[in-house]
Amino acid sequence: MSLTVTPIKTPIIHVGDDLLQIIAHQIKEMPEDGVLVVTSKVVSLWEGHVVVKKTGSRRERHGLVKKEAQLYLSPHSSKYDLMLTIKHQRLLVNAGIDVSNVESKYYVLLPVRPYESAQKIWQFCRDHYRVGRLGVVISDSHSTPLMWGVFGTALGHCGFKSLVSKIGKKDLFNRPFRMATLNLAESIAGAGVLMMGETDEATPLAVVQGAPDLKFQDRPPSQAEIDELKIELKDDMYYPLLGAVKWQTQKT
């Protein structure tokens, strides 16, 4: 089976709109063995994770970033007046706070507990569509150092095992892999975001089918499974860079 990604158009979603009912209305049938990708923006609007602008000033924005980030660097360290932050185990600009595709009076924050959000959507869709094998991914747009452009990343997932080890498998020259591990949630988020778009497409949902190596689970991921996706800062291969700067927290 080849990989297919079907973007789903929706009405403009506002703060407090019922995302679950929008999914039910816009998607008439949910396939078995599919993964529903939901952009984090509409999850935050559904759950009310927004802040009303008071002044819209740079100072106000930077103050909000400091509150939202687990770790942050001063905006003065960037020529673009942006704050490099760590949140949800990711290196993000401005803690993922966004002002696009939302009414101008709001800052939209990232979902507070994206794995719980994914579970709520997963359970609703399994019950509503009466499907057994279903995955959900909460996606966001992400950038990588030294390259222009954004791509999809997974803030949370449910209904399938994300990490797939290829350690011990042989390469084309019969040599065993020693470090190869796939992150399916990240890969699926990338495919979904590519088709959902970044501007005025109004397609915050996508159904992905045919992803290889996908093993569905009849339960949400355990905390141990979530934790195995994470690398502690000092254990990360990029620590020579990440550890060389003076990260700040809201407590400092």
- Residue 1 clears pLDDT 90, i.e. is over it: no
pLDDT tens, position by position, 72-98: 999 998 899 999 999 999 999 999 999
Q: Which residues make beta-bridge pairs with 85?
A: 72, 92
Local confidence band at 251 (pLDDT 50, 70, 90 cut-offs): low
Of 30-34, 57-61, 132-136, 247-251, which range is least confident?
247-251
User: What is the residue type of 60?
Assistant: E
Percent of the chain with pLDDT over 70: 99
Of 49-53, 159-163, 248-252, which range is least confident?
248-252
Residues, the chain, total? 252
Domain with residues 1-47+112-221, CATH architecture: 2-Layer Sandwich (3.30)
pLDDT tens, position by position, 149-178: 999 999 999 999 999 999 999 999 999 988
Residue 163: per-residue pLDDT: 95
Locus of tokens 């009414």: 103
User: What is the residue type of 151?
Assistant: F
The CA–CA distances, whole Å, from 33 to 30, 168, 169, 180, 234 equal 9, 27, 25, 25, 37
Mean pLDDT across 204-218:
97
Domains 1-47+112-221 and 50-110+232-252 share a fold: no
Give the angle 99-101-103 at the CA atoms, nearest 5°.
70
Backbone angles phi, psi at 59, to 5 degrees: -65, -45
pTM comes to: 0.95
Q: How many CB atoms lie within 10 A of CB 227?
A: 10
Residue 193: per-residue pLDDT: 97
Residue 122: per-residue pLDDT: 98
Residue 118: per-residue pLDDT: 98
Fold of domain 50-110+232-252: CofE-like fold (3.90.1660)
Query: What does the domain layout of the chain look like in residue ranges?
Result: 1-47+112-221, 50-110+232-252
Local confidence band at 250 (pLDDT 50, 70, 90 cut-offs): confident
Q: What is the mean pLDDT of the chain?
A: 95
Residue 85: per-residue pLDDT: 97
**For 69, left (φ over 0), alpha (ψ -120 to 50), or beta?**
beta
Question: Residue 34: enclosing H or E segment and its boundaries?
Answer: strand 34-39
DSSP string over 58-115: HHHHHHHHHHH-SEE--GGGSTTS--EEEETTEEEEGGG-B-TTS-TTEEEPPPSSHH
